[in-house]
Amino acid sequence: MRRMIVPGLLLCAVAGMAAPAHARQLGELNFEKCELPVVGTRPTNPLNAECTTLKVPENWDGEGGREIELAIALVPSRSPKPEPDPVFMLAGGPGQSARESWRQIAGVFQDVLANRNVILLDQRGTGASNRFNCPEPENLDPNAVDVNPDMAASLAQSCLESV
């Protein structure tokens, strides 16, 4: 039941948005103009987006535990009166950020943006949502196609110990 609260909250928060000037407040989500990150390249044009964060429990089964922030970006529709139900985009992953991926796939959403907002949500552990960074060993060849199961287990264990 608790897992349904965040998607429901987000849907309720973004429903019926108009396009205001500098900042938009939706429920408890306050969106402000932002520039989306681009991995590996320099953006040529600033992207018209609005960003915010949403605090959620790190562990939904525990009470009084640590909270983490999920990074959310809203790419506004070209319509002055967009449809009330936005399209949510989650990156396919593992570890991929929706906000960082947007520039590479924005063209696919051009028809959607004609009359709907698009919400980009960095899932927990990705992008600006409490990114999960594991130390990389110095001797690891990123181009190696032959993964040694013992090495993979060792890397996973050292990553687990670092968090």
Please tell me the predicted confidence (pLDDT) of residue 83.
94
77 versus 132: the higher-pLDDT residue is 77
Q: Which residue has the higher pLDDT, 37 or 77?
A: 77
**Residues 86/118, Cβ–Cβ less than 8 Å:** yes
Taking 80 as the threshold, does the pLDDT of residue 41 lie above it?
no
Q: What is the mean pLDDT of the chain?
A: 74
Q: How far is CA 99 from the centre of its chain?
A: 5
pTM above the 0.75 mark?
Answer: no
Helix then strand count (H, E) for the chain reads 4, 6
Least confidently predicted of 43-52, 79-88, 138-147 = 138-147
Higher pLDDT among residues 65 and 146, named by residue = 65
Is the distance from CB of 65 to CB of 45 less than 8 angstroms? no
Domain ranges of the chain: 2-132, 133-163
Range among 17-31, 57-71, 109-123 rated most confident: 109-123
pLDDT tens, position by position, 105-154: 888 899 999 999 999 988 766 666 666 667 676 666 666 656 678 877 88
Closest-CA residue to 121 (of 9, 10, 1): 10
Q: What Cα–Cα distance (Å) separates residue 75 from each residue in 52, 54, 119, 136, 150?
A: 12, 17, 6, 34, 43
